[in-house]
Amino acid sequence: MGADTAALQLTGRTAVVTGAGAGLGRAEAKALAGAGARVVVNDVGEGAHACAAEIAESGGEAVAVVGDVGEWGLGARLVDTAVQRFGRLDVVVNNAGVLRDRMLFNLTEQDWDDVLRVHLKGHAAVSRAAAAHWRAASKSAGAPVDGCVVNTSSEAFLFGSAGQPNYAAAKAGITALTLATSQGLARYGVRANAICPRARTAMTDATFGADPSDGETDIMAPERVAEFVRYLASPAAAGISGQVFVVYGRMVALLAPPSVEEQFTADEDAFTAEEFAAKVTPHFAGRDPGRTFAAHALAELDTTGV
């Protein structure tokens, strides 16, 4: 059964997309514009202007705001630009990020700070500004607004990628921020979801390599992920919030929350170390050392070959 096409349109709505000068963010901005949204395109360099120009050339409306989302005040500037230029804000897509891949023993303070600042602080800065705007708008109208946040997490936080302790930690924080955003803004009519995408971009060259598709549609094309972001931003997804999706290729996987594997209970009022040893230690006897909280089974979803 086909979806209502009108429910997938974003005509009259305004979106902010960070990291939209290239790669996934660029594809997301263009997908939203293609559905009718007016877009505030953000990036640290001139790519923001190039993306805005591409949208305009295709008949859409866009404005570029150059700046670093790791600077807290940029969040307010992006929201203000959306409202002043287009009269409203409806969608925020937090995408901007950087990589400083290191094993933990090689990680420098700067490596840590750079990644946490752009990814996690950047998400928080833009989300906070949007949240303040939507809360005020809802109170002024005396009714919920129809706001949407799409955050960019990663399977790295689920796998605990050994060479990305900073990136994995940032993405875990983004997932928690998404849940807090969903719960904290629901009363004002705002929903928030996170995606864990895989896409072939300049940032992922070392991971996915060059496009091997030889003219066919690349299975790792960022446009595939962008189409899902367009859907999440649309009225068709109005009932979806507080969710985490793995997105790439021909697949979208909805993740379930963690479950309790085993519960240990003290015989008396409180555990002693001896009782822990008697009850907890046997549970791990002979256990596969790879069986941890890391969700390695998700790797089995990958049928792309990259």
Catalytic residues: 154, 167, 171
How far does Cα 242 stand from its chain's mean position?
12
In Å, the largest CA–CA distance within the chain is 72
DSSP secondary structure, 245-304, as one string: EEEETTEEEEPPPP--------SSSS--HHHHHHHTGGGGTT--TT-SSS-GGGGGG--S
C-beta of residue 190 within 8 angstroms of C-beta of residue 145: yes
How far does Cα 229 stand from its chain's mean position?
10
Q: Are strands 147-152 and 251-254 parallel, antiparallel or unpaired?
A: unpaired
C-beta of residue 264 within 8 angstroms of C-beta of residue 280: yes
C-beta of residue 156 within 8 angstroms of C-beta of residue 134: no
Residue 162: other Cβ atoms inside 10 A: 10
The C-alpha atoms of residue 137 and residue 143 are separated, in whole angstroms, by 9
Q: Which residue has the tokens 């904290």?
A: 184
C-beta of residue 57 within 8 angstroms of C-beta of residue 82: no
Task: Give CA separation, 208 vs 57, 199, 257, 297, in Å.
Answer: 31, 8, 28, 20
Return the SS3 of 243. coil
Q: Helix count (H) and strand count (E) of the chain?
A: 10, 8
